[in-house]
Amino acid sequence: MNMAVAGPLDVFGGHSLADQMQARLMNRVDTKFMVPTRLLGTCLRGLEHDYTMLEIEGSRRFTYDTLYFDTPGRRLYLDHHNGKLNRYKLRIRHYRETGASFLEVKKKSNRARTIKNRLLLTSKTVAENRVFPFLEAQLGQPAAGMLPALFVGYRRVTLMNAPGTERITLDTALAFHSADRRCGVNLPEIAIVEVKYDRKVPFSPFLDRLGQLGCRPVQFSKYCVGTGLLFGHEYKTNRFKPLLRSLHGICS
């Protein structure tokens, strides 16, 4: 997390993972914003009375390491680029502070609904050969042929309002690397902010603050953005060009 916002973050009260898990946002709206890290302090200042911060064993900033998989021809990336209604992403996500890793399938339905299913990866689940049955059940087809495609790393802070009707993630220190680690790009100047809130919530102090700062919603897929940045010379990026230009403008 950018040190410029360490002070504003430290004044927030804390909540536990159990508290957060109880706040099920069943009828939610997910909205993402691309915010320059220099504005995060201003964005958060004064909102400590409206939100608390996830805290686990004294830690409030958590490092996520994610490995995405795709076909040799990047079919999953191209499905997203081409706007296919029924599509999915396949990844292994590792939570560095807790040491837990999950195999995740994130699906987007033709009704624009996002469904995520995951399997905890342990020596037991691997020994019991539960990985491929899980994948085939989620994908509806054999998972053979999927290859490591992209590493994505970032640090996350999570905020939640008292009723549990709104949850906010702040992702900073984004880093993208090819599967062979031969090329990569870091984006220290931006934060990806995602606001998840119940449709019935009449007012969001956080969304109001973002609006005051001139931040507008964006469509931002870490996998697609990283692929476009590193492999735009190999695969089409037409749909993502406005977003990629905005990134270059912020980071230049």
**Cα distance between the two ends of the chain:** 20
**Cα angle vertex 107, ends 219, 30, to 5°?**
40
Answer yes or no: is pLDDT of 1 > 80. no
Instruction: State percent of the chain over pLDDT 70.
Output: 91
Is pTM beyond 0.85? Reply is: yes
pLDDT exceeds cutoff 50 at 98: yes
Q: How far apart are CA 135 and CA 140, in angstroms?
A: 8
Distance CA 21, CA 124 (A): 25
The reported pLDDT for the residue numbered 61 is 92
Report the CATH number that the domain containing residue 76 is assigned in CATH.
3.20.100.30
* Assigned domain for 203 exists: yes
Chain segment 154-169, per-residue pLDDT in tens: 999 999 998 888 899 9
Q: Average pLDDT over the chain, rounded to whole?
A: 88
Which position has the higher pLDDT, 26 or 156? 156
How sure is the predictor about 73, in pLDDT bands with cuts at 50, 70 and 90? very high
Q: How many CA atoms lie within 13 A of 232 on its CB side?
A: 16
Instruction: Answer whether residue 5 is part of any domain.
Output: no
**Number of domains into which the chain is organized:** 1
How crowded is the C-beta side of 239, counted as CA atoms within 13 Å?
Answer: 17
Is 86 part of a structural domain of the chain? yes
Q: Is 53's pLDDT higher than 90?
A: yes
4 assigned to some structural domain: no
Residues pairing with 185 in the sheet? 176
Whether 7 maps to a domain, the answer reads no
Quick: pLDDT tens for 103-119. 999 887 766 667 888 99
- Which stretches of the chain are DSSP H helices? 6-10, 17-22, 40-44, 75-81, 123-127, 131-139, 205-212, 222-231, 241-251
Tokens found for residue 157: 């802070």
| pLDDT tens by residue, 176-219 | 999 999 999 999 999 999 998 877 667 889 999 999 999 999 98
**Structural domain boundaries, residue 56:** 14-251
